[in-house]
Amino acid sequence: MARLARLQVPAIALLLLAQSMPAPAADDGAAASGKALLEAHCARCHSIESSGESPLAKAPPLREVYLKYPIEQLEEGFAEGMGSRHRDMPQIPFSDDQVEAILVYLGSITGVDPHLRPRAPATGETPP
Ligand code: HEC
């Protein structure tokens, strides 16, 4: 009995370790590719870092944009390329995976997990 107990402890520890490991690893990859996308398409105007001004003063740092809009609106906006808002901005439609990666990256620089941000606009209405 005592022998069995000794064997069980490491087995449980390994199981817990295995369960907790894949998620952060996947998120790190997503954050890195999200950052690369923003670097390639947005960083010449918007700050994409956790602090500092945007290169173009009129363009708000994307961390502020991230914290300002509900996730649903950000997803739609990124997926449609954001450009419809004004002529200055390029129209780059991102795929669902790319949008997710961008949100994970913005979550990592603001310290606010996208899954913990409000999804829908706070209108007071409850969807059916
Ligand atoms: C050529 C410069 C330029 C590039 C490149 C650019 N933007 Fe912008 N963006 C702006 C400017 C300037 C504004 C603010 C002007 C305005 O509100 O009319 C803005 C506003 C925004 C807003 C609205 C912010 C708000 O508070 O309503 C979002 C969201 C946004 N940009 C996302 C992006 C994303 C994502 C990319 C990369 C895919 C990008 N922008 C690339 C110039 C740019």
* Model pLDDT, residue 122: 73
Q: Which of 104, 126, 119 is nearest to 73 (CA)?
A: 119
User: 125 alpha carbon to ligand 1 midpoint, in Å?
Assistant: 29
Instruction: Determine the residue type at 39.
Output: E
Mutate to test the pocket of ligand 1, among 41, 44, 46 (most ligand atoms within 8 A of CB): 46
The answer to whether residue 125 scores a pLDDT higher than 70 is: no
pLDDT per residue over 40-88, tens digit each?
A: 989 999 999 999 999 999 999 999 999 999 999 999 888 876 655 556 7
In a domain, 11, yes or no: no
For residues 107 and 23, the model is more confident at: 107
The enclosing H or E element of 16 equals helix 2-20
The per-residue DSSP string of 41-100 comes to HTTTTS--SSSS--SSTTSPPHHHHHHHS-HHHHHHHHHHTSGGG-TTS---PPPHHHHH
User: Domain tally for the chain?
Assistant: 1
* Model pLDDT, residue 91: 75
Residue 4's pLDDT band (boundaries 50, 70, 90)?
low
In a domain, 48, yes or no: yes
The answer to whether residue 92 scores a pLDDT higher than 90 is: no
* Model pLDDT, residue 22: 47
In a domain, 46, yes or no: yes
In a domain, 63, yes or no: yes
Q: Which of 62, 75, 81 is nearest to 114 (CA)?
A: 75
In a domain, 6, yes or no: no
Q: Look-up: residue for tokens 């991230």?
A: 66
Averaged over 11-18, what is the pLDDT?
Answer: 58
Find out whether the beta carbon of 30 lies less than 6 Å from any atom of ligand 1: no
pTM reported for the whole predicted model: 0.77
User: 65 alpha carbon to ligand 1 midpoint, in Å?
Assistant: 9
Mean pLDDT of the chain, nearest integer? 81
In a domain, 123, yes or no: no
In a domain, 16, yes or no: no
Domain of 106, in residue numbers: 25-116
Both tokens of 106, joined, read: 């913005």
* Model pLDDT, residue 19: 54
Question: Which CATH number fits the domain that encloses residue 98?
Answer: 1.10.760.10
* Model pLDDT, residue 54: 97
